[in-house]
Amino acid sequence: MKFLVTRRLREDSPMDRFAALLSEEVEALRQLKARGVILEAWSPGRPGAILIVEANSEADVDGFVNNLPLALAGLIEVEVDPLLELGF
């Protein structure tokens, strides 16, 4: 099943802390892409990411994205929405 994952920088997040974790975050995202978990990744034009993720359940997605460095540090908000095929 596919999921849309929206990751936004929290308004109160210190940019220096965000910058310090960014390379670690990108590497973790690359590993998930190599494993076939992340199908697509997009920038919203500001700190954060829009991801299309393949997983068996929303709980699996939560496990992937909430254990990334920026989420673990409490610097981002994560929203997960299932993508249901419209069939036309």
55 domain residue, yes or no: yes
Q: Return the pLDDT at 60.
A: 95
Residue 33: predicted pLDDT: 96
Number of domains composing the chain: 1
pLDDT in tens, 40-83: 999 988 889 999 999 999 999 999 999 999 999 999 999 999 99
CA dist., res. 56 & res. 10, Å (int): 28
Residue 22 has pLDDT above 90, yes or no: yes
Once rounded to an integer, what is the mean pLDDT over residues 11-31? 94
Count the Cβ atoms, other than its own, within 10 Å of residue 68: 20
Residue range(s) defining the domain that contains residue 19: 2-83
Q: What is the CATH number of the domain that holds 38?
A: 3.30.70.1060
What pLDDT score does 88 carry? 86
88 within a domain of the structure (yes/no): no
